[in-house]
Amino acid sequence: MEQLTQKQITARAYHARNKDVINARKKAQYHQSATKSTKPRVVKPKAVATCWARTTMKTKPTEREVFVESVSVSSAAAARREARRKIEDRQLAKELGLDY
């Protein structure tokens, strides 16, 4: 069995003498934090990206506008994908000790 240090003995004696005071302080602290009224957080709506020409002239996009937007997004994604693949190929060749 372990022997208690002098610091541990005095701490236990202090807590034994002041048990009621310590418990009352902790209980008051708990009730104080539990009864705090907090304001609900307000969620801001996200801004929606719009095309300026479309909003000033008409409300719905035409088929051509939708097609052009989808092509431009997919071509940009394809360009990023190709660049990423080239980088991965170079890294793999370097790991394998091949010239690329």
Q: Where are the domains of the chain?
A: 48-100
Tell me, yes or no, if the pTM score tops 0.85: no
> What's the rounded Cα separation, in Å, for the pair 20 and 17?
8
pLDDT tens sequence across 9-34: 999 999 999 999 999 999 988 887 76
- Taking 80 as the threshold, does the pLDDT of residue 93 lie above it? yes
> What's the rounded Cα separation, in Å, for the pair 67 and 49?
17
pLDDT tens sequence across 48-58: 655 555 555 55
- Taking 90 as the threshold, does the pLDDT of residue 6 lie above it? yes
Burial (0-12, 13-18, 19+ Cβ within 10 Å), 65: middle
Map 52-75 to HEC letters: HHHHHHCCCCCHHHHHHHHHHHHH
| 94 touches 100 (CB < 8 A) | yes
- Taking 70 as the threshold, does the pLDDT of residue 87 lie above it? yes
